[in-house]
Structure 1
Amino acid sequence: MPANTASKIVYFATILTSHNLKVAALLDSDNAGDQAARQETLVHRLGSKRILRTSDYTVPKIEHAEIEDLLRETLVAVAKTDLNWDIDSALAKASDKPIIDVFQRTIGKDFSKYKLAKAFLKWSRDHSVSDLAPHEIEGCTNLINAINAALK
């Protein structure tokens, strides 16, 4: 269930755990995610094993990763094809930076996470997981396995 912002994770975790539901939190590895992961209430409610960070599942590892970094190669291709956003050269110079940061710096005010997500959903109608890059499949599989382990 999306919480919209990392700061709301504590509220959702409190409500859901009070109803005896199993809860795990997936936080981006940016500053907001760092702050949420350090909140004593969240750690108390979930325990550290049920607080997952995106940078732990990106292949290769990207510091300050956001969820989009799990699919960076595919998102770059989709953006280029569907939105005419070409960030290949900028990404080559910043391969260790979060993909959204590269998009924002390269595309500027025309960049929109919403447009990118919409293009990816359109792409996903005609494609399957096997169309993702092998390292994207690995990262997503590892994340799904960690979520399942956290919710046992």
Structure 2
Amino acid sequence: MVFDPLRKYPGYALRRASTMSMSDLSSRLADLDLRISDATVLLVIVSNPGVRQSAICKALDIARANIAPLIARLEERTLIVRKPLDGRSHGLELTPEGEKLTAQVMTIVEEHERSILDKIPENLREPFMLALGHLWSPAD
């Protein structure tokens, strides 16, 4: 067995855990012909009907240049529609087909997340989630 000298570093451990997690979720979503970013946007829209693209960018830290092709993919699949909000802006909503697919996405995400937590002893789950929250939440 080869010794991994980086294993003791939290950033490295997070990257390794993230790589494993994202690979698993990506393969689960492939059955629905969705990328993780597509699924995430669908989940934001179902939770925030009429949300603007700019709000999605801010919430998910997606560059404006990257959201346009993502939204276009979802529109081409008739999963979302644009609804006028005012004279210049549009909100995004799921179509009935999008609602059905998003329900499947949520089931997959919940199963995926449960499989991650199952690897962590039950008494460490809450402190684990609190610690992770401190790493990516903005400083007070």
Structure 1 or 2, whichever has the larger Rg, is 2
* TM-score between the two structures when normalised by the length of structure 2: 0.34
